[in-house]
Structure 1
């Protein structure tokens, strides 16, 4: 028997175990399992897209203090996100289903409240995955505008031009999600190498050129000026944490891919937790050379488009060609991220429809077995998720400030959806997760869970605040308004139709269910 045959047999055995475990959770296998540990780790890193996540909203960090906020804010948020990643990994290992956090809430909440709690969590998840996907695809479109601005600073593109570019970016992501499902693991692997080589190229190129001057370590690691925000220095620092928080906001989205992973109880929690230290190191390598060669902050904040990344690279490299080359690295990372995050968002949409929590559930929970190289694709869920993003993107035509709120909404909704099952588990004394294959233990489990919940609560308050004061109609942060608006919609829908149709995820009959092959083997 060759190594290839042995590997295939091992994958098939894991698939058999995983399918049986999925049946014990109440679902039947509909998707094809094609992903292993490194596929999921690379997908998590692609969704995080560290250089893109830190670069796209970099203006917020510049407003909120500059270099000190950028580097130490990254360290702080990385440290605070790790307990959340560990907590999600522990629960995900116990309940590895594409239903994700709302299923976890249903199983962890008191029986009397589990239906409503899972409904609320499910809609928080939906709004979170739709808006974070929108923020990436639209943010990548804005990067295109920034790249064009390197060669044509007076181009004067209007909002509808940006929207058309957004349509193009979205079309590319949808194409890969529908027709390239079988090669998406390969694309995630390419993304990992692109990001690694990209940050190394940026490190070498910026350090070698430094056309706008070099700074001392005191400036690069310690200069702090939050006066552009109008806030007090301390609060200005926290306002500047949006880029790192945004970068880590979707770490739990790979849970939606659980039913396409060979060994989800083992692979998903490790991919989620390993991604934090790897992402942290990537961010340090990306940020440090930029901070030592950072152009004048006032010049960057004065860029008409509000997206200074193209001008920043041009000034550092001292030429349009050099600036465009570094910009292209970030643009590539953004495109990889858009594909991966749109894929995960479609799986979350499909899973929620499968449990009759979305209108026309039989339509949007259907899997097309002929697409994606024969692996099966939830085509209608992909089209629904994409259509909602296209409609939400139209808001940019009327108000760029209102659209920017969707970044904050994504952070708030995803954070809340992650914190709810962790808080429920903690409230119940962590009884349900003590036998998790990825247990945090009796000593560290409560500590990590508590830190995770506290960070998310603070995060939600923080990103409801405007980045700049005094507040105007342009600088107003509409995140809380949009958050409440979506919450009101889900509540009304529950009263009108949801409570009659939604019965929650299936509950297995644990007293009568058969043992899985994994348990029999043991």
Structure 2
């Protein structure tokens, strides 16, 4: 996988910028720097196990296929169903958080040039609609150019981070801090939680940045030699992302304006005001649109894969491929389903200004849990690494369902648990109504007589061979002409 797609998967600048207020609420510089390093190392333990499994089973089905192949025979269908729904809800909500967060960043940027304008909830939602429309048009009608956009995004991100490093370090219009402050200042007064818990709450931006690393697998059937390229991309994502994150964060903590001023921004997105104060002029660094396009594409592929295995309502429709305007085959109906879910969930913002953190929390919880299940079932990087990965995910599930700050009100409450439980109930009801009758798990190659619970090393990598049904290029799958 090309470095451009790896850097796009990292989305470091966006992942930090969009929810950066949680960094500030959760303690400030200490949480930003050392929390970033801590989460990077914890994520690396998870990625090492995922990459090992992915090298054996490189498929766009991802975690739910891995869980199916690695689970005991009696539990494999149910565990696969659970993992698939966790993955699906995770990719829907992370795509929503990126599209919605990009809209909020646009609102924040507009506020720099027009400080008298304060966007209402419905205006923010309309900007979100514009963002999701642009990302949809690109993904549907210009699908063949997505690799080029990944490359552009990679260069844009790298150059932008270097420019920020240089300009912030030189300008420092809001003042400079010494190393003791930049690397050691911790203030949990904005959170209302005890200092220790506030630090953990503040880890949300770091966890969010790396939460989509497992989604790299969703592009398996559009990548050459996926058994080699996908695991490499997964593993490279974390150290590359960690370094890029530190390069992005260090100049910020050394030139950080007053945290109280930043958190008082009406848009809830202090990043634009932060850089305006640091640079001493009105400047905006936008990368959200690139991320929105990339993540929307990946979400549609994951949706399509799950529908193909008859785990969604109307699977024959959502597994259908189309050629809109004569383009390459794409899962158009799966894309439209993913987009519709995002539009409906986005309506939560009309009732709660804390909706964005709720979307982020659901994405982190669901994707984390779906990635942890196959690792918990089987992973061979060592029991200690697997245990660290699973324990971190279990802890983060509790952590990111909590409100960011106390006291929590109806407007500031974290609704991640509500969305999570809602989708969990739907998946359970749908399994009882339809899934238990039709879902038998993802298709697997013919066994060679060995048990499905045997070591992965003894099985042939049949996904990487051509024994499994091909996808976008398979004539047996329905394709609209």
Q: TM-score, normalised by structure 2?
A: 0.92
Residue of structure 2 in register with 1:15 after alignment: none
Following TM superposition, by how much is the alpha carbon of 1:187 offset from its aligned partner in structure 2, in angstroms? Answer: 0.8
Residue of structure 2 in register with 1:190 after alignment: 152
Q: Within the alignment, does 1:424 sit opposite 2:386 as a pair?
A: no
Change (3 A) 1:121 1:154: same
Residue of structure 1 in register with 2:245 after alignment: 283
The answer to whether the 8 Å contact 1:56/1:139 transfers is: yes
The answer to whether the 8 Å contact 2:58/2:463 transfers is: no
Residue of structure 1 in register with 2:134 after alignment: 172
Residue of structure 1 in register with 2:199 after alignment: 237
Change (3 A) 1:276 1:371: farther
The answer to whether the 8 Å contact 1:150/1:310 transfers is: yes
Question: What is the count of residue pairs matched by the alignment?
Answer: 457
Which residues in structure 2 correspond to 1:66-145 (within 5 Å)? 66-145=28-107
Which of 338, 345, 348 in structure 2 is aligned with 1:392? 345
Q: Within the alignment, does 1:503 sit opposite 2:456 as a pair?
A: no
Q: Within the alignment, does 1:468 sit opposite 2:468 as a pair?
A: no
The answer to whether the 8 Å contact 1:89/1:268 transfers is: yes
Please give the alpha-carbon distance, in whole angstroms, between the structure 1 residues aligned to 2:324 and 2:296. Answer: 20
Counterpart secondary structure, 2:78: helix
Please give the alpha-carbon distance, in whole angstroms, between the structure 2 residues aligned to 1:363 and 1:354. Answer: 9
Residue of structure 1 in register with 2:217 after alignment: 255
Q: Once superposed, which parts of structure 1, at least 4 consecutive aligned residues long, lie more than 6 Å away?
A: 512-520
The answer to whether the 8 Å contact 2:16/2:206 transfers is: yes
Residue of structure 1 in register with 2:383 after alignment: 446
The answer to whether the 8 Å contact 2:358/2:415 transfers is: yes
Following TM superposition, by how much is the alpha carbon of 1:289 offset from its aligned partner in structure 2, in angstroms? Answer: 0.5
Please give the alpha-carbon distance, in whole angstroms, between the structure 2 residues aligned to 1:119 and 1:471. Answer: 34
Residue of structure 1 in register with 2:361 after alignment: 408
Please give the alpha-carbon distance, in whole angstroms, between the structure 2 residues aligned to 1:395 and 1:105. Answer: 32
Which residues in structure 2 correspond to 1:288-299 (within 5 Å)? 288-299=250-261
Counterpart secondary structure, 2:190: helix
Please give the alpha-carbon distance, in whole angstroms, between the structure 2 residues aligned to 1:266 and 1:161. Answer: 45
Residue of structure 2 in register with 1:477 after alignment: 414
Note the alpha carbon deviations across 1:309-360, whole angstroms, 9 max, x for none. Answer: 111111111122xxx2xx2x2x2x2111111111110000000000011111
Residue of structure 2 in register with 1:7 after alignment: none
Q: Within the alignment, does 1:336 sit opposite 2:320 as a pair?
A: no
The answer to whether the 8 Å contact 2:100/2:356 transfers is: no
Following TM superposition, by how much is the alpha carbon of 1:158 offset from its aligned partner in structure 2, in angstroms? Answer: 0.7
Following TM superposition, by how much is the alpha carbon of 1:172 offset from its aligned partner in structure 2, in angstroms? Answer: 1.1
Following TM superposition, by how much is the alpha carbon of 1:459 offset from its aligned partner in structure 2, in angstroms? Answer: 1.0
Please give the alpha-carbon distance, in whole angstroms, between the structure 2 residues aligned to 1:142 and 1:490. Answer: 30
Q: TM-score, normalised by structure 1?
A: 0.84
Following TM superposition, by how much is the alpha carbon of 1:113 offset from its aligned partner in structure 2, in angstroms? Answer: 1.0
Return 5+ residue gaps in structure 2 as ranges.
450-458, 467-481
Following TM superposition, by how much is the alpha carbon of 1:371 offset from its aligned partner in structure 2, in angstroms? Answer: 5.9
Residue of structure 2 in register with 1:26 after alignment: none
- Of the structure 1 ranges 405-414 and 365-374, higher mean CA displacement relative to structure 2 is found in 365-374
The answer to whether the 8 Å contact 1:67/1:291 transfers is: yes
Following TM superposition, by how much is the alpha carbon of 1:227 offset from its aligned partner in structure 2, in angstroms? Answer: 1.1
Residue of structure 1 in register with 2:479 after alignment: none
The answer to whether the 8 Å contact 1:130/1:385 transfers is: yes
Residue of structure 1 in register with 2:456 after alignment: none
Change (3 A) 1:516 1:102: closer
Please give the alpha-carbon distance, in whole angstroms, between the structure 2 residues aligned to 1:150 and 1:106. Answer: 50
